[in-house]
Amino acid sequence: MDFSLTEEHLMIRDAARDFARTELLPGVIERDKEQHFPKELITKMGDLGFLGMMVDPKYGGGGMDTTSYVLVMEELSKIDASASVIVSVNNSLVCYGLEAYASEEQKEKYLTKLATGQSIGAFCLSEPEAGSDATSQRTTAIDMGDHYLLNGTKNWITNGNSADYYIVIAQTDKEKGHKGINAFIIEKTWEGFEVGPKEDKLGIRGSDTHSLIFNDIKVPKENRIGEDGFGFKFAMKTLAGGRIGIAAQALGIASGAFELARDYSKQRKAFGTEICNHQAIAFKLADMKVNINASRHLIMHAAWMKDQGMDYNVAGCTAKLFASQTAMDTTVEAVQVHGGNGYVKEYHVERLMRDAKITQIYEGTSEIQKIVISRDLLKD
């Protein structure tokens, strides 16, 4: 295993770092307050190639590896996790799923637009009664012969209003349990598609999270992804890569908070010296750095396994579990290092602390990551 970065890796990392500092940092506090993410910034991320990074260039993507993707996720998340979740959903949950499992016609019709950022995607698995327990789908897609009839409600959908295309998981045959679940590509403009109100959230407030309501949407047969009954496995396989992206988001949030805390501790004085000279503060920084480095190794390892074509499911869960805990611990301590200044918006660390929490909840809670990891280590 060689995790040293190539010239290309460094170039894409620096491009993301530059973009985050010059385009995302100005206005990040206002976007958080106003719960808004401007379309122009999404367009710029598309122009930089951040929205379809790993997709084959023949479908408009960047043809990059997973390491490049996690480097970009880390850099964007240091400044604005609301921006990086758009990147993560579009890359890992939408483009990856389509490239790996959609038909050639579906790829030409949808993937080419999604990979360039011309269109934005959303991934719709969660429901009011099916979050962690994802096989308990209540949304139904009834086979009507020449089309499916889609009805139900999805909850917590990232890019809920800003997306153009939605991958929707639905039950087509209740008797068959998870084998009676399918995934469909749905267009926002179709009759019967309704977007619920925007959620008023603790963190990643710039990201638009909505419930979606489907009322008798006619879904053409050709919009089903893969073989009949493949929908749950499709969701799980897609989420396996998504979790690496969210681990990198958590790493970025932690790194951003660490850098702010380190710099602040070198200029803030108390008791006649910079606070970094108090061992209690220096040790906090040491703990942060150790956990950040460990997270980075787990993430690079998972990304490397994916790029080698190995089974990366458990490695991705492990990276997400550890990095999201690191994001929480690091941001809480970064606020502490800042004292009272840590508690106000202009110093950024309070936002990073609020943003960190979601990494322990979405794309499988920490308890769900432990279920996957423990089932694997206990299997025969």
Among 84, 91, 139, 158, binds ligand CAA (CB under 6 A): 158
Residue 149 interacting partner from ligand CAA, ligand FAD, none (CB closer than 5 to 8 Å by kind): none
Residue 147, helix vs strand vs coil? strand
Instruction: Please give the helix or strand (H or E) that residue 184 lies within, else none.
Output: strand 181-187
251, 77 contact by CB (below 8 A): yes
What is the enclosing helix (H) or strand (E) of 373? helix 366-378
Q: Least distance (Å) from ligand FAD to the CB of residue 174?
A: 20
124 scored as a contact of ligand FAD (CB under 6 A):
yes
Q: Does 131 engage in binding with ligand FAD (CB under 6 A)?
A: yes
Two structure tokens written together for 305: 């396994």
Separation of alpha carbons 265 and 154, rounded Å:
45
- The verdict on 365 binding ligand FAD (CB under 6 A) reads yes
70 near ligand FAD, judged by CB under 6 A: no
Contact between 110 and ligand CAA per CB under 6 A: no
- Considering only 111, 141, 358, 372, the residue that binds ligand FAD (CB under 6 A) is 358
Q: Of 37, 166, 322, 362, which one interacts with ligand FAD (CB under 6 A)?
A: 362
C-alpha radius of gyration, the chain, whole number: 21
With CA atoms as reference, report the closest residue to 265 among 281, 254, 279, 286: 281
CB of 211 to ligand FAD, least distance (A): 10
Q: Does 73 participate in binding ligand CAA (rule CB under 6 A)?
A: no
Do 240 and 316 form a contact (C-beta atoms < 8 A)? yes
Q: Which of the choices ligand CAA, ligand FAD, none does residue 135 contact, using the CB cut-off of 5 to 8 A by kind?
A: ligand CAA
- Which is it for strands 209-220 and 193-198: parallel, antiparallel or unpaired? antiparallel
User: How remote is the C-alpha of 134 from its chain's centroid?
Assistant: 18
Contact 157, 169 (CB under 8 A): no
CB contact at 8 A, 86 and 120: yes
Q: How far is the CB of 46 from ligand FAD (least distance, A)?
A: 19
Closest to ligand CAA by CB, 6 or 136:
136
- CB of residue 141 to ligand CAA, shortest distance in Å: 18
Whether 363 is a known active-site residue: answer: yes
Whichever of 130 and 298 has its CB closer to ligand CAA, that residue is: 130
Question: Which DSSP symbol is given to 203?
Answer: S
CB 100 within 8 A of CB 226: no
Is residue 125 near ligand FAD by the rule CB under 6 A? yes
The Cα 117–Cα 124 span in angstroms is 19
Q: Which of 201, 224, 262, 306 binds ligand FAD (CB under 6 A)?
A: 201
Identify which of residues 291 and 360 has a Cβ nearer to ligand FAD in the complex. Answer: 360
Measured CA to CA, the distance from residue 344 to residue 43 in angstroms comes to 31
Helices 279-307 and 66-79, axial angle in degrees (round to 10):
150
Q: State yes or no: residue 240 binds ligand CAA (CB under 6 A).
A: yes
Site size with ligand CAA, rule: CB under 6 A: 23
- The yes or no reply on residue 165 touching ligand FAD (CB under 6 A) is no
Interacting residues toward ligand CAA by CB under 6 A: 85, 89, 123, 125-126, 132, 134-135, 158, 178, 232-233, 236-237, 239-240, 313, 362-364, 368, 371-372
Catalytic residue ranges: 363
Interacting residues toward ligand FAD by CB under 6 A: 89, 123-126, 131-133, 156-158, 201, 204, 209, 358, 361-362, 364-365, 367-368
